[in-house]
């Protein structure tokens, strides 16, 4: 097993292969061309991460076993758990939206915790769990889809909105959920992936395979391997597919961006919530929600929703369109800046889900017929689709194409 610091590393953002110097613990190697992190040298982080994962699993159980929020109005009490809003969406014809909220706020975090415990426990005894490479790279690929902190922000926005008309009481689960967020963030930020990858054996090359004429870097475990000219192959360490560049990156990204643009208008024009109170009905779009918070004195909440739900999706689409055009027409303008634009676009897109989570919390709490009730509007479905599609679009774009234009 490889237990040493790699001598070379290839940047995932610009494709430049660089020699790594001797490194001390606590140091990082940064790409000399685009500034991306290449490698960090740390003490073994697996034991600490395992402890955090076990603690997180306990908090996960508490967060799902107890009430999350309760609303008290005119002597009536409405309690909600983590899954109350998800069940409401499912039973009211929004199965896709229900599945998305369930997946991003509950299933992915649970899978991450179980996978970490499954992988790291045998490592403490000098063993490897079955399929460690496949499971760990899957966990890392799922990281953008774990949106607990975005869900918590949605809860806070909902509490502020409902706090003007009722008494909102946080339950035990909300504190456990908050602790779980801190645990997972600490676990993944403190885990050095190399501590797991270095323990995996590297399979010997097939002597009967085609001659490897090019080198490709695994996008999952960063191992540099030969790749045959006639066909693609799998990483000999983690099993991920090896490609010089993401296959059909421009075509796939373009198709996804076009789909997101088409959905962006109905997402902002159709109502995202429909409120019924004392015989009157009010339909609110994302922008009307921003205006409501602005004129009710919660300008900071209005700013958060405007940035997350209107500005970020729009800027993300504009940025992706520009990056596609710049690659298509071989623009030479500041590849470093364009790479940073891509990184930012990839990082912030998930925060647009905050409005979807606000809707989920509102429909869970405000079901006090005949006094008041809130339903999810069609705009919520279109908006969730925009968020998901733009995240896939950013993932399918290969930033190394930016630097390929410079090298021509």
Mean pLDDT by 10 residues, the chain (408 residues): 65 83 84 85 89 95 90 77 90 92 94 95 92 92 92 88 80 93 92 90 63 72 74 80 84 95 93 80 86 82 88 92 90 85 88 90 78 84 94 91 71
What pLDDT sits at residue 335? 86
Vertex 383, ends 377 and 389: CA angle to 5°?
145
DSSP string, 303-343: HHHIIIIIIHHHHHHHHHHHHHHHHHTT--S-HHHHHHHHH
Q: Residue 230 CA to chain centroid, in angstroms?
A: 34
Omega of the bond prior to 204 within 30 degrees of 0, cis?
no
What pLDDT sits at residue 1? 42
Give CA separation, 46 vs 25, 35, 123, 137, in Å. 15, 27, 8, 16
User: Which are the contacts of 288, defined by CB distance < 8 A and separation ≥ 6?
Assistant: none
Burial pattern 309-336, b for ≥16 Cβ within 10 A else e, equals bbebbebbbebbeebbebbeeebeeebe
CA distance 251 to 247: 9
Strands (DSSP E) found in 26-146? 28-30, 37-40, 69-73, 76-80
Phi-psi domain of 21 (left: phi exceeds 0; alpha: psi -120 through 50; beta: other):
beta
| Maximum separation of any 2 CA atoms in the chain, in Å | 77
What are the tokens at 213? Answer: 């004429």
CA distance 324 to 251: 9
* Closest CA relative to residue 220, chosen from 244, 238, 246: 238
What pLDDT sits at residue 229? 58
What pLDDT sits at residue 4? 59
User: Which are the contacts of 353, defined by CB distance < 8 A and separation ≥ 6?
Assistant: 104, 147, 150, 151, 154, 384, 387
* Contact status, residue 1 vs residue 201, Cβ threshold 8 Å: yes
What pLDDT sits at residue 208? 45
CA distance 78 to 166: 11
């Amino acid at each position: 097993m490889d237990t040493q610091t790699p001598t070379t590393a290839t940047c995932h953002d610009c494709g430049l292969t660089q020699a790594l110097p001797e490194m001390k613990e606590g140091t990082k190697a940064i790409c000399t061309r685009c500034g991306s992190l290449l490698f960090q040298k740390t003490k073994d982080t697996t034991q600490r991460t395992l402890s955090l994962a076990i603690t997180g699993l306990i908090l996960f159980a508490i967060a799902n076993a107890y009430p999350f929020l309760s609303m008290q109005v005119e002597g009536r009490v409405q309690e909600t758990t983590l899954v109350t809003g998800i069940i409401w969406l499912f039973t009211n014809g929004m199965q896709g939206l229900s599945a998305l909220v369930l997946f991003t706020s509950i299933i992915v975090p649970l899978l991450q915790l179980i996978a970490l415990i499954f992988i790291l426990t045998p490592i403490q005894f000098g063993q490897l769990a079955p399929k460690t490479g496949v499971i760990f790279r899957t966990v890392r690929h799922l990281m953008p889809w774990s949106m607990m902190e975005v869900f918590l922000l949605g809860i806070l926005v909902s509490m502020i909105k409902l706090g003007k008309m009722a008494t909102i009481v946080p339950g035990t689960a909300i504190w456990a959920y908050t602790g779980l967020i801190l645990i997972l963030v600490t676990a993944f930020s403190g885990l050095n992936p190399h501590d797991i990858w270095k323990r995996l054996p590297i399979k010997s090359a097939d002597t009967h395979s085609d001659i490897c004429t090019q080198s490709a870097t695994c996008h999952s475990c960063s191992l540099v391997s030969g790749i045959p000219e006639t066909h693609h192959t799998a990483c000999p360490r983690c099993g991920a597919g090896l490609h010089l560049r993401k296959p059909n990156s421009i075509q796939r990204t373009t198709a996804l961006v076009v789909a997101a643009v088409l959905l962006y208008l109905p997402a902002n024009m159709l109502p995202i919530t429909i409120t019924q109170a004392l015989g009157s009905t009010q339909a609110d779009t994302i922008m009307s929600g921003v205006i409501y918070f602005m004129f009710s004195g919660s300008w900071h909440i209005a700013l958060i929703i405007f940035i997350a739900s209107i500005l970020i999706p729009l800027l993300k689409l504009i940025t992706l369109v520009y990056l596609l055009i710049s690659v298509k027409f071989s623009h030479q303008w500041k590849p470093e800046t364009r790479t940073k634009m891509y990184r930012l676009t990839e990082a912030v897109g998930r925060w647009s889900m905050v409005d979807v989570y606000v809707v989920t919390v509102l429909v869970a709490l405000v079901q006090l017929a005949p006094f008041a009730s809130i339903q999810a509007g069609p705009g919520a479905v279109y908006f969730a689709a925009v968020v998901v599609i733009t995240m896939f679009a950013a993932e399918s774009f290969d930033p190394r194409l930016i630097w390929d234009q410079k090298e021509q």
